[in-house]
Amino acid sequence: MAPKKVEEPERKPLIGRVGTNLKVGIVGIPNVGKSTFFNVLTKSQAAAENFPFCTIDPNESAFEDDDVTHVEGDVNPVRDLDIISEELRLKDVEFLNTHLEKLEKLVIRGNDKKLKPEYDTLLKVKGVLMEEKKHIRFADWSANDIEVLNKYLFLTSKPIIYLVNLSEKDYIRKKNKWLIKIKEWVDKNDPGAILIPFSGIFENKVLDMDEAERAKYFEEHKVTSALDKIITQGYKALQLQYFFTSGHDEVKAWTIQKGTKAPQAAGKIHTDFEKGFIMAEVMKFDDFKNEGSEAAVKAAGKYRQQGRNYVVEDGDIIFFKFNAGAGLKDAKKK
Q: Is the pLDDT of residue 13 over 70?
A: no
Parallel, antiparallel or unpaired: strands 251-257 and 277-284: unpaired
> What integer pLDDT is reported at residue 26 of this predicted model?
79
Q: Is the pLDDT of residue 1 over 50?
A: no
Other beta carbons less than 10 A from residue 321's beta carbon = 13
Q: CA–CA separation, 71 vs 60, rounded Å?
A: 12
**Where among 237, 257, 277 does a domain terminate?**
237
Q: Which of 14-28, 149-163, 273-287, 296-310 has the lowest average pLDDT?
A: 14-28
Count the domains in the chain: 3
> What integer pLDDT is reported at residue 107 of this predicted model?
92
Q: Are 25 and 55 in contact (CB under 8 A)?
A: yes
Q: Which of 12-16, 46-50, 68-72 has the lowest average pLDDT?
A: 68-72
**Where among 127, 157, 187 does a domain terminate?**
157
Q: Map residue 246 onto helix, strand or coil.
A: strand
> What integer pLDDT is reported at residue 235 of this predicted model?
87
> What integer pLDDT is reported at residue 327 of this predicted model?
54
Q: Is the pLDDT of residue 59 over 50?
A: yes
Q: CA–CA separation, 263 vs 310, rounded Å?
A: 9
Average pLDDT over residues 58-65: 50
Same domain, 144 and 163: no
Element (H, E) at 219: helix 211-221
Same domain, 122 and 264: no
Q: Is the pLDDT of residue 104 over 50?
A: yes
Q: What is the CATH number of the domain that holds 108?
A: 1.10.150.300
Same domain, 188 and 314: no
Q: Note whether residue 14 is domain-resident.
A: no
Q: Tell me the pLDDT band of 17, cut-offs 50, 70 and 90.
A: low
Q: Note whether residue 304 is domain-resident.
A: yes
Domain around 295: 240-322
> What integer pLDDT is reported at residue 19 of this predicted model?
64
Same domain, 247 and 128: no
What letter represents residue 58's amino acid? P
Q: Using CB atoms within 10 A of its CB, is residue 87 exposed (0-12), middle (13-18) or buried (19+)?
A: middle
Q: Tell me the pLDDT band of 96, cut-offs 50, 70 and 90.
A: very high
Average pLDDT over residues 131-137: 96
Same domain, 121 and 229: no
Other beta carbons less than 10 A from residue 52's beta carbon = 6
201-243 pLDDT per residue, tens: 899 899 889 999 999 999 999 999 999 999 889 888 888 999 9
**Where among 157, 183, 211 does a domain terminate?**
157
> What integer pLDDT is reported at residue 76 of this predicted model?
87
Q: Note whether residue 332 is domain-resident.
A: no
Average pLDDT over residues 255-277: 94
> What integer pLDDT is reported at residue 70 of this predicted model?
45
Percent of the chain topping pLDDT 70: 81
Its sign, for the CA torsion 304, 266, 159, 138, is negative
> What integer pLDDT is reported at residue 256 of this predicted model?
93
> What integer pLDDT is reported at residue 328 of this predicted model?
46
> What integer pLDDT is reported at residue 75 of this predicted model?
75
Q: Note whether residue 103 is domain-resident.
A: yes
Q: Are 68 and 31 in contact (CB under 8 A)?
A: yes
Average pLDDT over residues 66-84: 69
Same domain, 291 and 253: yes
Kindly report the average pLDDT of the chain as a whole number: 85
Percent of the chain topping pLDDT 90: 66
Q: What is the CATH number of the domain that holds 257?
A: 3.10.20.30
Q: CA–CA separation, 53 vs 46, rounded Å?
A: 19
Q: Note whether residue 194 is domain-resident.
A: yes
Parallel, antiparallel or unpaired: strands 57-61 and 161-165: parallel
Q: Read off the DSSP letter of residue 293.
A: S
Q: CA–CA separation, 315 vs 287, rounded Å?
A: 10
> What integer pLDDT is reported at residue 15 of this predicted model?
77
Same domain, 52 and 166: yes
Same domain, 43 and 191: yes
The span from the first CA to the last CA of the chain, in angstroms, equals 52
Average pLDDT over residues 148-175: 93
Same domain, 40 and 164: yes
Average pLDDT over residues 87-95: 95
Q: Tell me the pLDDT band of 30, cut-offs 50, 70 and 90.
A: confident
Same domain, 55 and 170: yes
Average pLDDT over residues 16-22: 66
Q: Are 244 and 251 in contact (CB under 8 A)?
A: yes
Q: Are 238 and 159 in contact (CB under 8 A)?
A: yes
> What integer pLDDT is reported at residue 38 of this predicted model?
77
Same domain, 289 and 304: yes
Q: Note whether residue 65 is domain-resident.
A: no
Average pLDDT over residues 111-136: 96
